[in-house]
Amino acid sequence: MPSNVRSRARERNSVLSRPEFMSLNHQPLCGGGPTESRGSSKRLGQLKHQTSQQSEEPTDRGSKDRRESNKMPEEDCMQLNPSFKGIAMNSLLAIDICLSKRMGVCAYTSSSWGGCRSMVALLALTGHGITWIIGTIVCLTRSNTLAGQEVLVNLLLALILDVMTVAGVQRLVKRRGPWEMTPSFLDCVAMDLYSFPAAHASRAAMVSKFLLSHLVLAVPLRILLVLWAFLVGMSRVLLGKHHLTDMVCGFALGMLHFSLMETVWLSSNTCQTLISISTLSWSPFF
């Protein structure tokens, strides 16, 4: 029996003396064991944290991309709990767009009133800024009276003021028309590129009020002049160029231009000076 126990102990020692089992023979130091285990656990925790962050970064980026792609444009988003004023404004704008689209019966030749498009376009041309500016200059060159020249010079300044003001407001607002149309050549020359406010309506209202105030006209001509101004504004809505609110605001802006020109009305002497400067016949010494 003792010989068997000794042989088994020798075999066990020979097995433990193999290279792959050498680490089992070394006992850890008394002072360094716990600290080394803690340090290794900390390093393992840091490695796990870094790997988890690296694995989460692509997922976070993917989720952010998905959220950005799923975001709707601001104009298509609906506000939660909107105010009464916001609801009223959105409702009025929706009604305005719907009615304006329905009234654009001459927008294209294939529209319901496409056969009348040329006539409506000709009516709108009578309220164009270039038409009125050229016509006023021609009348001014043929006028021989001081009173007539005074009225025509102030009308020319009012037309220039109307064109510049409407172009500036349109550039600020940049509202598109009910139908997507490219501006014509005359519209580009007159800087009538956007929908709000309606330049033709503003000009027609200002010119009609100006002529009614400074010309002696019979009652039928006065009625026709007011009717012409209204039809010019409506022609642009029928052509699909403007909304109804653009036309209404254009009429209001035209009346404002008339009031402003009445406030800064140029006298006859000032108008004669401007005419002399424009014809290069003015001399400050004589």
> Annotated catalytic sites, by residue?
200, 242
For residues 240 and 227, give the distance between their C-alpha atoms in angstroms, rounded to a whole number. Answer: 20
CB crowding 141-174: b at 16 or more within 10 Å, else e: eebeeeeebbbbbbbbbbbeebbebbbebbeeee
**Residue 97's closest CA among 240, 194, 200?**
240
Which residue reads 């001459």 in tokens?
106
For residues 30 and 28, give the distance between their C-alpha atoms in angstroms, rounded to a whole number. Answer: 6
The sign one gets for the Cα dihedral 245, 248, 254, 260 is negative
